[in-house]
A = this chain, B = another copy of it.
Amino acid sequence: MSKILVVFSSLFGANASLADDVARILEEAGAEVRVRGVKQIVLAEAQKADAKASPEATAADLKWADSYVLTSPAHTGMLSAAMKAFVDENHDEIDAGTFLNKAFTGMSTGAYAHAGQERVVDELNAIGSAWGCILVPPSTAFADLNASDGNPYGLSFVLDHGKLPEGPAVADALQVHLRRFVAVTEALAPLREAAPAAASGPATAAEVFG
């Protein structure tokens, strides 16, 4: 049984709700799932109760998982500062080989059709790349994905008054993409068992954090 970590950033509940939908479908597909939030930084005092119902993600969660689903709203065309801070705080896990050959997929929500959703999933994929993950983007090959938002780099959704759109399109897109994601996670298991301890290059903290 694959262990999948779903990490979301959310102030008003939309991405927390998306993460719950993701988790339910992953579990139906046979995975063991942890849903985790990230500590909010901007407007944190405005965070709604249902956006902070899940525990915060830790390094132990990252180590535990066989694959990752990360979801962030698009803020000024970029992932949230909160999600970026979570990534930075766990930078040392790259050297420790924590992420190597784990499957990865990113998701995003936006206020407009083009509030930067393509950019955000591209940024999430860049994080997965640096981590040493294997990326599983949704593709344009499935009619059910194109009927929803059709973003081939990561699932994305335009919010309707701050909520995920109603109707079967969202659920269908999640089903098609996440069942495939579980299958890829399982197929890569032999590589994770064989993974040598990775060792990072000559970058010191002073060079990375300038």
- A114 with B115: in contact, given A127-B77, A137-B129, A140-B132 (CB under 8 Å)? no
A50 CB, nearest partner CB in chain B, Å: 12
Q: Is A175 an interface residue (CB 8 A)?
A: no
**Copies of this chain in its oligomeric complex:** 4
A53 CB, nearest partner CB in chain B, Å: 15
Check B134–A134 contact: CB distance below 8 A. yes
Check A162–B204 contact: CB distance below 8 A. yes
Check B139–A129 contact: CB distance below 8 A. yes
Chain A interface category by residue count: 35 or more
Interface, chain A (partner B; CB < 8 A):
9-12, 14-15, 41-43, 46, 72-82, 84-85, 87-89, 91, 94-95, 97, 99-101, 109-119, 122-123, 125-143, 145-147, 149-153, 156, 158-159, 161-162, 180, 183-184, 187-191, 194, 198-210
